[in-house]
A and B are shown apart, each in its own frame.
Chain A
Amino acid sequence: MPESLTILLLLTLPLAGALLVGVLPARNSILPRIVAMASMLVVLVLAAGLFYNFDGTIAGEPLGLNVPWIASLGVNLHLAVDGLNAYFLLLTALLFPVVLGSAWRTREAQFTLYLALLLVLEASLFGTFLAQNLMIFFVFWEAVLIPMCLLILAFGGEQRRQAAMTFFLYTLVGSVLLLAAVLLLGVEGLHQTGRWSFEFGHLEQLHLGWETELFVFCSIVLACAIKCPLFPFHSWLPLSYCEAPFSGTALMAGVLSKMGAFGILKLALPLCPEVSAVMAPYLEMLAVASIVHGAVIALRQEDFRRLVAYASLSHMGYIVLGIFSLQNTAMHGALFQVLSHGVTVVGLLLVLSVLEQRLGTSWRQVNALATSAPHLAIVLMLFILASVALPLTSGFTSEFMILFGAFQHAMAAWTSGALPIQLGAVVVAATVMVLSAGYMLRFGRTILFGESSCGTPLWDLNLREAMVFFPLLLVIVWIGIWPNPIMTRVGPAVSRLTQQVAGKSGLPLALSSLTSPDGGANGR
């Protein structure tokens, strides 16, 4: 099958599934779920094939699908696999069937609306990750918000209205600035080349003035920092994570948060390399603040979902740290963390969801799983270990590579005369190893061990649930033991990106250079 067709199917199959599910009349029937699951599984197979066949070469323009849409404005429906998005596609394709499989018997899965929203969400995520045209990217980026918000609104907990509004408005604020940046880039392109174009390939060639670039960078990074989220833009996080239905939380934590990381990789660094190089140390510090803040707060959370929310904040911080280390190994680590955090956090949340499905509202008091449901306990323990970044799990591979790269970069900066602030930040980030062990094991102890207090017997893992968890564990163990065959596929793209940015400015400059007057003329 030609690549362009596969890519088109990635986008259209879920949409078609959503339409089909929508017209299927049957409520309380299993048919809509089967249709939804089937389309997700086909998409998974296609995406896996795409990943497997992707050889990592990045010669010239990425191929894929390229259809003019609004040709006069340079908006093309240009979608392609380019190395940077390979992991994101795989993660999206993997998590949707997993989440649906886990929610199979829940109340919300009986509604066709729920299934349709999931499928639309999947399609818009694919659009976001595949886009090679900034306008298309932006459209999909925004489109993701709608199904997610409706999911919270329709199937959330008691404070769902507030949660949905907070989530929607907060992320929208970021997007407004992003839109301004998108338009500004289009206008810049028009000025410099005489025609409209939003193709990434073209936009990367533009010579932006310092102020323009700074504005574009800040808007993009703000939008992404809200999505990730990054300290201090995470206030929407606990509420949304706690109020959304488990499947919604899982998708938010697993995939939607990765849009932030993706935006930084795909937009901020290539479009604003000079500013990125200068700003990187400060963003690294923000990332470390996220890592520490999330970890310290997670230590004392009694509510498991809040705990996972803050742990997630901490782990997402590693991704940002890895990216802004502007170092090859760290960048690979960040990409691995995308996969690793995606599957780990979804695994943790789905285990909790299994408990909720078994016990109703009393699941929060659950303990002694090791006695009452030993298999479930083992699965949960494995996710906890991946989250603690134990070697031979994906968490270790990614965090080790991130810290390793960040450390090498910071040492290089220090030895060539910069202040050792970056180095200090990395060392602080490394000590969070201790805290993460603390909060995850505390979580594990509360839920797994002790003497069983709840009278109701607990069903252990059933076959469907085992099938749900198996692929997640497989990813965790594979990346943990043998990451090399996976990372070779994205190697060239990552190398090019690091060179693009690192080549611009050998070393981080002082903050004073932010107001550098050079080349401001283009911006006016």
Chain B
Amino acid sequence: MNQMTLIPLLPLLGFLINGLLGSRLPRRLVALVACGLPAVSFGLTLGLFLRLAEGGAPFTETLFTWAALPGFRLDAAFYFDQVTAVMCLVVTGVGTLIHVYSTAYMAHDRGFSRYFAYLNLFLFFMLLLVMGKNLLLLFAGWEGVGLASYLLIGFWYEDPEKTTAGMKAFVVNRVGDTGFVLAAFLIWFFAGTLDFLEINAFFNANQPTPAVMNTIALLILIGACGKSAQIPLHVWLPDAMAGPTPVSALIHAATMVTAGVYLLARLNGVFLHAPEAMTIVAWGGALTAFAGATMGLTQFNIKKVLAYSTMSQIGYMFMACGLGAYPAAVFHLYTHAFFKACLFLGAGAVIHALHGEEDMRRMGALAGRIPFTFSTFLLASLALCGVPPLSGFFSKDEILWSAWSAPNGSPALWLVGSVTAGMTAFYMFRAIFLAFFGPSNVPLLKQQGIHEPPASMSVVLVVLAIFSAGAGLLGMPGVLREQFGLSAPFFSFLSPVFAPGATGEAGHGTELVLMLISVVVTGAGILLAWVFYGRGRSLADRVRRGAGPVHELVSRGYYFDRLYEGVLVRGVDRLSEEVLAKRVESALHEGTLVKPSEGVRATTRLFARLQTGNVQAYLLYALMGLALILWWGVAHA
């Protein structure tokens, strides 16, 4: 068992310890196990990462043969290349930080050890997902993180609303998983393997037909949409906010929901030969980015704003994948993990300070009361909005630039992305003005309790804020690199994995102009937010009233939920109750039980009637029988 195998196994160990013994251990020890083991995993990951960064070859480790038959062989094997390294660093790094944060956040919860057991279980599955060498192992992690997410969303299981949300997340994810599984079957049919390297190599060398390639790619996309909450399978994510806030930060912002992006990047060999599917990926991402941002504009629950924002940002990443700009997608995934985790944890600190209040209409004027929380939240918001030189600026800009310049990109795509960026700035600063400025709407009862978070939470906020600010410097855009002779270590690190995408003919001048435009758009978004919510809120109310049905449509999430609930769920329920249970079952019961048994009963009655006890009658039957036999004998002579 080597270093690499230990990375996922340590959190599993933590799960087993806390899951089996946690209720009997002191809380300190539970917390130590829960935070310590992932921290060691992080250290190990860092070691492997450094070896890769020095130019080492990717690591492979085959644990055992899962199943082997003639013509069918699947191994349980790990693979650790540059993409895995980035993902693992994010998962174990941000993961450990959020564990530390949770020790304070969940300190008074009855399910303390259960919480950490689940959280460690999540890390195990997430690491399985990113380290698996083939689709089978990835899928094991993929469904496993779904399980952890289900358990953690419904963590406070006494509340039926929360358990329903967990169930919804799992079932909607299963829809995507069906696509995933079918894609894997199809890949096997053509390539005869589920190993990522072999799959990519196979499809780079020979493509069955465009239709096949597109089908496979779209099936994978369905899977990715489920996990990454992309339209039309996004409906579970807002409800998933029912879970504890650190869970939302870890699972529903930084790591699990980005698994779809990882999957698309991993199977780039399939997508690069499915141009139509690529276009769908790009436009689907753009659509989700845009729609998510619009939904974020109308929410009053601070966590829901962030949830829609996550959906929207992952839309950007999908867009980048669809454009073939995988390094940009992974880069945004990496910066997003920091600032979105920071935002969620900041929101958590606010909620913590207000004893569970999540509605921004009952916040306000918090900037002065909890200035530390406010400053980290502000910094992360600026990073998300893409204000230079914070991390979001670089990563988002890279994607917007690809949208313009990539072969299948277009100004229209870029425009959607830029408008979304403006809306992002608007909804984030709307949240800031609502929660931290203006008049205080906090109920008196809760006024006294407002406090800054304890040390273990603050430290995590600071670390994440620092990374939100600085992480982008690792991936300077091309134009700045050339102007100032800088390097972009992030992109050069990833270069062995992704074949260099074709670059458009648009020059650096354009890039600079676009960059300026996006800064202006962001500034405009912030300014508008100030106009609507910073000065006073009458204008916002008036606009909301004026928009009427449109506002209703957007704030209800475009009625996706109602559509699914009303058509699909109701339809299947009716099919189950009205058609199958009532009609089909009773018809079958009638046809295979009642009717035959009636027939049998009638026959027995007939024979019973023959038994009269009359000797003459019996003699008659005997003679009739004899006659029949004779006749048969004569006839067949």
Q: Which residues of A contact B (CB under 8 A)?
A: 166, 169-170, 173, 232-236, 293, 296-297, 299-300, 328-329, 332, 368, 370-371, 385, 390-392, 396-397, 400-401, 403-404, 407-408, 411-412, 427, 430-431, 433-435, 437-438, 441-442, 445, 448-451, 482-484, 487-488, 491, 495
Contact = CB atoms under 8 A, between A and B. Distances in A.
22 contacts: A235-B593, A296-B576, A297-B580, A299-B576, A300-B573, A329-B69, A368-B158, A371-B158, A390-B147, A391-B139, A397-B67, A411-B186, A433-B177, A434-B171, A437-B170, A441-B167, A450-B157, A450-B160, A482-B66, A484-B67, A487-B69, A488-B68
Contacts of B575: 296
Given A233-B592, A450-B163, A293 B185 contact: no
B592 A370 contact: no
A434 B66 contact: no
Contact of A390 (B144, B154, B157, B171): B144
B580 A407 contact: no
Interface in B161-214: 163-164, 167, 170-171, 174-175, 177-178, 181-182, 185-186, 188-189
- Nearest first, the 6 closest Cβ-Cβ pairs linking A and B are A391-B140, A449-B157, A407-B185, A300-B576, A434-B174, A449-B163
B144 A487 contact: no
Given A297-B580, A370-B157, A390-B144, A328 B69 contact: yes
B70 A495 contact: yes
B592 A235 contact: yes
Contact of B580 (A293, A400, A427, A434): A293
Nearest to B190: A411
Interface stretch (B251-259, B344-352, B361-369, B582-590): B582-590
A276 B97 CA distance: 59
B170 A407 contact: no
A403 B139 contact: no
Contact of A385 (B147, B577, B593): B147
Interface string B564-583: 00000000110111001100
A328 B71 contact: yes
Interface string B72-112: 10001000000000000000000000000000000000000
A411 to B, nearest CB: 5
Given A392-B140, A445-B167, A449-B160, A433 B576 contact: no
A63 B576 CA distance: 49
Interface of B: 64-72, 76, 139-140, 143-144, 147, 150, 154, 157-158, 160, 163-164, 167, 170-171, 174-175, 177-178, 181-182, 185-186, 188-189, 572-573, 575-577, 580-581, 584-585, 588-589, 592-593, 596-597
Given A391-B144, A487-B69, A448 B157 contact: yes
B181 A445 contact: no
Contacts of B182: 407, 427, 430
A442 B67 contact: no
A328 B73 CA distance: 12
Nearest to B140: A391
Contacts of B581: 297, 300
Contacts of A329: 69, 72
Nearest to A450: B160
A146 B61 CA distance: 54
B54 to A, nearest CB: 35
Contact of B597 (A169, A403, A487): A169
B144 A392 contact: yes
Contact of A483 (B66, B140, B186, B577): B66
Contacts of B66: 482-484
B158 A451 contact: yes
A325 to B, nearest CB: 12
B144 A408 contact: no
Given A427-B182, A441-B167, A450-B158, A484 B68 contact: yes
Main SS of the interface on chain A?
Answer: helix
A323 B240 CA distance: 40
A484 B65 contact: yes
B158 A449 contact: yes
B154 to A, nearest CB: 7
A170 B164 CA distance: 40
Contacts of A332: 67, 69
A411 B68 contact: no
Given A297-B581, A482-B66, A483-B67, 8 more contacts: A166-B593, A297-B580, A328-B71, A404-B185, A433-B174, A434-B171, A437-B170, A450-B157
Nearest to A439: B576
A166 B592 CA distance: 11
Q: Identify the interface centre among A368, A371, A407: most chain B CB within 10 Å of its CB.
A: A407
Contacts of A236: 593
A162 to B, nearest CB: 10
B143 A390 contact: yes
Contacts of A427: 182
B222 to A, nearest CB: 11
B158 A430 contact: no
Contacts of B597: 169
A441 B158 contact: no
Contacts of A293: 580, 584
B185 A408 contact: yes
Contacts of A400: 181
A173 B599 CA distance: 13
A441 B182 CA distance: 23
Contacts of B157: 370-371, 448-450
A166 B584 CA distance: 19
Given A296-B576, A408-B188, A487 B67 contact: yes
Contact of A445 (B143, B163, B189): B163
B69 A491 contact: yes
Contact of B596 (A173, A434, A482): A173
Contacts of A437: 170-171, 174
A114 B64 CA distance: 45
Nearest to B176: A434
B147 A232 contact: no
B259 to A, nearest CB: 14
A449 B166 CA distance: 12
Contacts of A368: 158
Nearest to B584: A293
A300 B577 contact: yes
A234 B72 CA distance: 34
Contacts of A232: 588, 592
A442 B157 CA distance: 13
A339 B113 CA distance: 34
Contact of A434 (B70, B175, B585): B175
